[in-house]
């Protein structure tokens, strides 16, 4: 594609095209949208990104993003500190919070072990998790990492580090999505859903709770 007729426009398009999943054509549409918007709005847009990067803090307990030293979850007296859900990043925290099914606290690793991308255990917040367990407040660790080789590797690494302590290490259930048809499920998921079948009785009980 030819270069654009204005350098400042070109720069903005290039910056927008760096966003995940955004190609050059979409970036151009976005830049044009911002150009057509009012000056204050374009300013608010640009400043919101800069301010976010400069002012955001991370909860010293769980690594979740926060405006204070402790995030709203870790700071809440209603949350069960003995149950810790281990996730890759804050998007997972938000996703699980939206279910309204979890009353424990989180531990955000900030990534998963990936030799391909040069991410080792020391690049992640795993030490903090171990210290949390050693302090004695934790009864159960729920691993909610992605079902990839990297996720499995990280699960196993954490399990090895923790299995000597007297806590439960569980993983979230993998199975057929609610509403999905069996014929469309992949073999691995379908296989796991049979191996890890649950008592029908328990399903009814949970529904009626």
CA-nearest of 76, 77, 78, 96 to 86 is 96
Residue 195 CB, shortest distance to a copy of itself, in Å, is 31
23 binds a copy of itself (CB under 8 A): no
Cβ closest to a copy of itself, residue 57 vs residue 163? 57
Q: Does 179 contact a copy of itself by CB under 8 A?
A: no
Specify the stretch interacting with a copy of itself by CB under 8 A; choose among 31-39, 161-169, 170-178, 187-195.
31-39
In angstroms, the Cα distances linking 5 to 8, 25, 39 are 9, 15, 21
Determine if 113 is a binding residue for a copy of itself (CB under 8 A). Answer: no
For residues 98 and 75, what is the distance between their CA atoms, to the nearest angstrom? Answer: 18
Binds a copy of itself (CB under 8 A): choice among 85, 87, 93, 124: 93
184 binds a copy of itself (CB under 8 A): no
Window of 54-62, 124-132, 151-159, 195-203 that interacts with a copy of itself by CB under 8 A: 54-62
Which one, 20 or 179, has the nearer CB to a copy of itself? 20
User: Could you write out the three-class secondary structure of the chain?
Assistant: CCCCCCHHHHHHHHHHCCCCCCCHHHHHHHHHHHHHCCHHHHHHHHHHHHHHHHHCEECCCCCCEECCCCCCCCCCCCCEEEEEEEECCHHHHHHHHHHCCCCEEEEECCCCCEHHHCECHHHCCHHHHHHHHHCCCCCEEEECCCCCHHHHHHHHHHHHHHCCCCCEEEECCCCCCCCCCHHHCCHHHHHHHHHCCCCHHHHHHHHHC
Among 79, 81, 97, 175, binds a copy of itself (CB under 8 A): 97
Least distance between a copy of itself and beta carbon 95 (Å): 9
Pattern 120-139, a copy of itself, x by CB under 8 A? --------------------
Applying CB under 8 A, among 32, 130, 149, 204 the residue interacting with a copy of itself is 32
Based on the shown chain and the rule CB under 8 A, indicate whether residue 101 belongs to the binding site for a copy of itself: no
Footprint on this chain of a copy of itself (rule: CB under 8 A): 1-2, 4-9, 11-12, 14-15, 18-22, 26, 28-35, 39, 41-57, 64-67, 71-73, 89-91, 93-94, 97-98
């Amino acid at each position: 594609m030819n270069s654009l007729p204005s350098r400042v426009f070109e720069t903005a398009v290039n910056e927008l095209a760096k966003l995940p999943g955004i190609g050059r054509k979409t970036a151009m549409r976005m830049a044009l949208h911002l150009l057509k918007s009012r000056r204050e709005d374009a300013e608010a847009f640009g400043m919101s990104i800069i301010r976010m990067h400069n002012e955001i803090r991370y909860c010293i307990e769980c690594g979740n993003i926060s405006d204070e030293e402790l995030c709203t979850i870790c700071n809440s007296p209603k949350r069960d500190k003995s149950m810790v859900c281990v996730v890759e990043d804050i998007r997972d925290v938000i996703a699980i919070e939206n279910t309204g099914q979890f009353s424990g606290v989180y531990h955000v690793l900030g990534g998963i072990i990936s030799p391909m991308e040069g991410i080792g255990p020391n690049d992640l917040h795993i030490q903090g998790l171990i210290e949390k367990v050693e302090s004695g407040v934790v009864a159960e660790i729920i691993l909610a990492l992605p079902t990839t080789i990297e996720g499995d590797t990280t699960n196993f690494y954490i399990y090895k580090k923790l299995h000597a302590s007297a806590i439960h290490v569980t993983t979230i259930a993998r199975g057929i999505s609610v509403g999905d048809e069996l014929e469309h499920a992949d073999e691995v998921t379908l296989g796991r859903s049979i191996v890890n079948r649950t008592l029908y009785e328990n399903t009814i009980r949970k529904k009626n709770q």
